Amino acid sequence: MATQRTTRIDPLTLEVVDLIGTVVARYHEEYEDAAAEHALTGAQARLLSLLSLEPLPMRRLAQKLKCEPSNVTGIVDRLEARGLVERRPDPSDRRVKLAATTEEGRRVARSLSDALNFAREPLAGLSTEERLSLRDLLQRMLTP
């Protein structure tokens, strides 16, 4: 029989966790709204944003989006039909296909990024030192 351990979490930790959850929820809400302005789903917008940084193989896209490769194939198909993404051979391994943004895809990805004001405006109110501290603390939280 497994023993259940009860750990009390201090109120400050609970408050910080709640605030992080609220920030994430508001970010996703704004991202979904920005995607809808371009008649994109959130998943399509995220994939387009990833590809605007660099062309990627389907398997790597699936890892980054934390979904099945077959799902990524469908998303890429829909974006390709709209002229936002194209498939090209990987120069280092011609058997592998890379998904890459078209010029129009890069324009839409920039527009999506520009539309995300939720975090940008409050962050602008912080000093450079405060933003550096926040960045460093978030990086520490994400480092195993």
pLDDT at 6 over 80: no
Quickly state the pLDDT bin for 77 (edges 50, 70, 90).
very high
Could you read off the pLDDT of 79-100 as tens digits, one per residue? 999 999 999 999 999 888 999 9
- 131 vs 87: CA distance, rounded Å: 38
Which domain covers residue 58, as residue numbers? 34-116
Could you read off the pLDDT of 7-22 as tens digits, one per residue? 788 999 999 999 999 9
High-pLDDT (> 90) share of the chain, %: 66
CATH of the domain at 56: 1.10.10.10
The count of domains in the chain is 1
Within a domain: 106: yes
pLDDT at 60 over 80: yes
User: E strands, 58-111, where?
Assistant: 85-90, 93-101
Within a domain: 23: no
- What pTM was computed for the model? 0.75
- 24 vs 26: CA distance, rounded Å: 6
Mean pLDDT for the stretch of residues 61-86: 94
Inter-axis angle of helices 11-37 and 103-114, to 10 degrees? 140
Within a domain: 124: no
Within a domain: 46: yes
